[in-house]
Structure 1
Amino acid sequence: MLGMGKITIDMIQNFDVVGGPKMGRDNVPLLRAELKRLKLDGLLIPHEDEYNNEYLPDYNERLMWATGFTGSAGAAIVLNDRASMFTDGRYTLQVRQQVDGDLFGFARLEDGITAWLRANLRKGETIGYDPRLHPPKAVSALRNAAEGAGATLVALEVNPIDTAWTNRPAAPKGPVAIQPDMLSGKNHAQKRAEIGQAIAHAGADAAMLTAPASIAWLLNLRGSDVRCTPLMLANAIIDKAGLVSLYVDPDKLSGDVRSHLGNEVSVTSEDALAADLSNWSGKTLIVDPTTSSAWHSQSLKDAGATVLAQEDPVALPKAIKSSAELRGSETAHRRDAVPLIRFLHWLDTEAQSGQFDEIDAAVKLETFRHDTGLLKDLSFETISGAGSNGAHCHYRVNTATTLPLAPGTLYLVDSGGQYVDGTTDVTRTVPIGKATQEMCERYTLVLQGHIALATIRFPSGTTGSNLDAIARYPLWQAGLDYDHGTGHGVGAFLGVHEGPQRISKTPNNVALETGMIVSNEPGYYKAGEYGIRIENLQYVTQAEDISGGERPMHGFHTLTLAPFCRALIDTDMLTRAERDYVDEYHARVQKEIGPELDGEIAAWLKQACRPL
Structure 2
Amino acid sequence: MFQNFEVTSTPEKGPARLALLRQEIARAGLDGFLVPRADAHQGEYVAPCDARLAWLTGFTGSAGFCAALMDQAGVFVDGRYRTQVKSQVDPEHFTPVDWPETTLADWLKQALPDGGKVGFDPWLHTKGEMEKLAGCGVELVAVDNLVDRIWADRPPRPSGKIIEYPVEFAGETAEAKRKRIAADIKNAGAQAAVLTLPDSICWLLNIRGSDIERNPVVQAFAILHADGRVDLFTDPAKAEGLALEVQPWEAFEPALMALQGVVRVDPDTAPVAVSDILQGAGIEVQAKADPCILPKARKNSAEIAGTRAAHLRDGVAMVNFLAWLDRAAPKGGLSEIDVVTKLEGFRRDTGALRDISFETICGAGPNGAIIHYRVTQETNREIRKGELLLVDSGGQYLDGTTDITRTVAVGDVGNEEKTCYTRVLQGMIALSRVRFPKGLAGRDLDALARYPLWLAGQDYNHGTGHGVGTYLSVHEGPQRISKVSDVPLETGMILSNEPGYYREGAFGTRIENLIVVQPAPALKGADARDMMAFETLTYVPIDRRLIKVDMLSRGERDWLDAYHAKTLEMLSPLVKGETLDWLTRACAPL
Q: Give CA-to-partner distance per residue, 1:192-220, whole Å, 9 cap, x none.
A: 11101111221222111111000000000
Aligned AA (2:211): D
User: How far has the Cα of 1:98 moved from its partner?
Assistant: 3.5
For 1:458, what is the secondary structure of its paired residue?
strand
Aligned AA (1:230): P
Q: Give CA-to-partner distance per residue, 1:469-526, whole Å, 9 cap, x none.
A: 2222333333333232111111001111111111122241x22211111111122223
Q: Give CA-to-partner distance per residue, 1:116-166, whole Å, 9 cap, x none.
A: 222223757432210111111322333532xx2xx432101x212223222
Q: Give CA-to-partner distance per residue, 1:389-429, whole Å, 9 cap, x none.
A: 22232223233333322111111111111111100001111
For 2:472, what is the secondary structure of its paired residue?
coil
Task: State the distance in 1 between where 2:22 and 2:373 align.
Answer: 32
Q: Residue 248 of structure 2 is aligned with which of 269, 281, 287?
A: 269
Contact 2:319-2:583 within 8 A present in 1 as well: yes
Q: Residue 67 of structure 1 is aligned with which of 53, 57, 60?
A: 57
Task: State the distance in 2 between where 1:514 and 1:410 align.
Answer: 36
Task: State the distance in 2 between where 1:31 and 1:438 align.
Answer: 47
Matching residue of 1:221: 207
User: How far has the Cα of 1:453 moved from its partner?
Assistant: 1.3
Task: State the distance in 1 between where 2:179 and 2:126 align.
Answer: 28
Contact 1:131-1:293 within 8 A present in 2 as well: yes
Q: Give CA-to-partner distance per residue, 1:28-69, whole Å, 9 cap, x none.
A: 344344444434343211111111121111111112222233
For 2:53, what is the secondary structure of its paired residue?
helix
Task: State the distance in 1 between where 2:131 and 2:365 align.
Answer: 43
- C-alpha change, 1:473 and 1:78, in structure 2 (3 Å) is closer
For 1:43, what is the secondary structure of its paired residue?
strand
Contact 1:199-1:205 within 8 A present in 2 as well: yes
For 1:203, what is the secondary structure of its paired residue?
coil
Q: Residue 139 of structure 1 is aligned with which of 116, 126, 130?
A: 130
Aligned AA (2:220): A
CA RMSD of aligned residues (A): 2.0
Matching residue of 2:339: 361
Aligned AA (1:458): F
For the pair 1:512 / 2:489, whether they are aligned, the reply is yes
Task: State the distance in 1 between where 2:286 and 2:55 align.
Answer: 35
Task: State the distance in 1 between where 2:85 and 2:517 align.
Answer: 39
Aligned AA (1:527): E
Task: State the distance in 2 between where 1:351 and 1:450 align.
Answer: 26
Task: State the distance in 1 between where 2:442 and 2:52 align.
Answer: 34
For the pair 1:207 / 2:190, whether they are aligned, the reply is no
- C-alpha change, 1:93 and 1:399, in structure 2 (3 Å) is farther
Task: State the distance in 2 between where 1:127 and 1:469 align.
Answer: 39
Contact 1:545-1:552 within 8 A present in 2 as well: no
Task: State the distance in 2 between where 1:122 and 1:29 align.
Answer: 23
**Greater CA deviation, 308-317 or 28-37?**
28-37
Aligned AA (2:255): D
- C-alpha change, 1:529 and 1:552, in structure 2 (3 Å) is same
Matching residue of 1:188: 174
Matching residue of 2:219: 233
Aligned AA (1:228): R
For 2:540, what is the secondary structure of its paired residue?
coil
Task: State the distance in 2 between where 1:600 and 1:13 align.
Answer: 34
- C-alpha change, 1:122 and 1:455, in structure 2 (3 Å) is closer
Contact 1:209-1:312 within 8 A present in 2 as well: yes
Matching residue of 1:538: 515
User: How far has the Cα of 1:442 moved from its partner?
Assistant: 2.5
For the pair 1:154 / 2:141, whether they are aligned, the reply is yes
Structure 1 gap segments, 5+ residues each? none
Contact 2:109-2:115 within 8 A present in 1 as well: no
Matching residue of 1:45: 35
For the pair 1:118 / 2:86, whether they are aligned, the reply is no
Task: State the distance in 2 between where 1:100 and 1:392 align.
Answer: 18
Task: State the distance in 2 between where 1:94 and 1:472 align.
Answer: 23
For the pair 1:300 / 2:291, whether they are aligned, the reply is no
User: How far has the Cα of 1:80 moved from its partner?
Assistant: 4.5
Matching residue of 2:7: 14
Matching residue of 1:572: 550
Alignment identity in percent? 48
Contact 1:545-1:551 within 8 A present in 2 as well: no
Contact 1:20-1:98 within 8 A present in 2 as well: no
Bigger proportion of residues as helix:
1
Aligned AA (2:556): E
Task: State the distance in 2 between where 1:507 and 1:563 align.
Answer: 30
Contact 2:74-2:96 within 8 A present in 1 as well: yes
Task: State the distance in 2 between where 1:448 and 1:83 align.
Answer: 41
User: How far has the Cα of 1:559 moved from its partner?
Assistant: 0.9
Contact 2:84-2:370 within 8 A present in 1 as well: no
- C-alpha change, 1:252 and 1:216, in structure 2 (3 Å) is same
Matching residue of 2:237: 251
Contact 1:20-1:69 within 8 A present in 2 as well: no
For 1:131, what is the secondary structure of its paired residue?
coil
- C-alpha change, 1:205 and 1:544, in structure 2 (3 Å) is farther
Task: State the distance in 1 between where 2:495 and 2:77 align.
Answer: 27
Task: State the distance in 1 between where 2:69 and 2:456 align.
Answer: 48
Task: State the distance in 2 between where 1:526 and 1:101 align.
Answer: 22
Task: State the distance in 2 between where 1:547 and 1:208 align.
Answer: 48
- C-alpha change, 1:570 and 1:28, in structure 2 (3 Å) is closer
For 2:62, what is the secondary structure of its paired residue?
coil
User: How far has the Cα of 1:254 moved from its partner?
Assistant: 2.3
Contact 2:366-2:507 within 8 A present in 1 as well: yes
User: How far has the Cα of 1:108 moved from its partner?
Assistant: 3.3
- C-alpha change, 1:82 and 1:399, in structure 2 (3 Å) is same
Matching residue of 1:165: 151
Task: State the distance in 2 between where 1:83 and 1:519 align.
Answer: 34
For the pair 1:419 / 2:397, whether they are aligned, the reply is yes
Matching residue of 2:66: 76
For the pair 1:345 / 2:323, whether they are aligned, the reply is yes
Q: Residue 567 of structure 2 is aligned with which of 582, 586, 589?
A: 589
**Greater CA deviation, 514-523 or 123-132?**
123-132
Task: Give the structure-2-normalised TM-score.
Answer: 0.95
Aligned AA (1:540): V
